[in-house]
Amino acid sequence: MQQSSEVRELDSALLFADLSGYTALTVIHGALAASGIVLRFCNLAQKALEPEVKLVSSIGDDVFCAGEDTLAVIRSALKLYDAAENEPYFPRIRMGTRRGPIVEREGRLFYG
């Protein structure tokens, strides 16, 4: 996604995913260990994405992905879930998807 002053309204499918119990993980194991798990999670998310789906942002233990093809977004979510389930001692992940109008402005996506 490129940065521009152009404002566009899009119809896209979105995927949100995060680590369940991340705060407890940081308390018990410390921020250093937790950050390693977050980086693994972001790597798993990136590898799980179908070609039509892009990783829009990640902050903390959250990833936000978008694509025009709803089925590609759903397939990406399922691949991410399977990848996390196959990682030894990995926290469970929570995910949600939505389809609908979004606004792209200054390189960022906004949804209502």
Given a contact cutoff of 8 angstroms between Cβ atoms, the answer to whether 5 and 97 are in contact is no
Instruction: Quick: pLDDT tens for 12-64.
Output: 999 999 999 999 999 999 999 999 999 999 999 999 999 999 999 999 999 99
Q: Which CATH superfamily is domain 17-95 in?
A: Reverse transcriptase/Diguanylate cyclase domain (3.30.70.270)
Q: Is 100 left (phi over 0), alpha (psi -120 to 50) or beta?
A: left
Q: What is the pLDDT of residue 107?
A: 81
Q: Are strands 93-105 and 7-19 parallel, antiparallel or unpaired?
A: antiparallel
* Percent of the chain whose pLDDT exceeds 70: 96
User: pTM of the prediction?
Assistant: 0.87
Alpha-carbon dihedral angle through residues 101, 105, 108, 112, given to the nearest 10 degrees: -30
Q: Indicate the pLDDT class of residue 4, thresholds 50, 70 and 90.
A: low
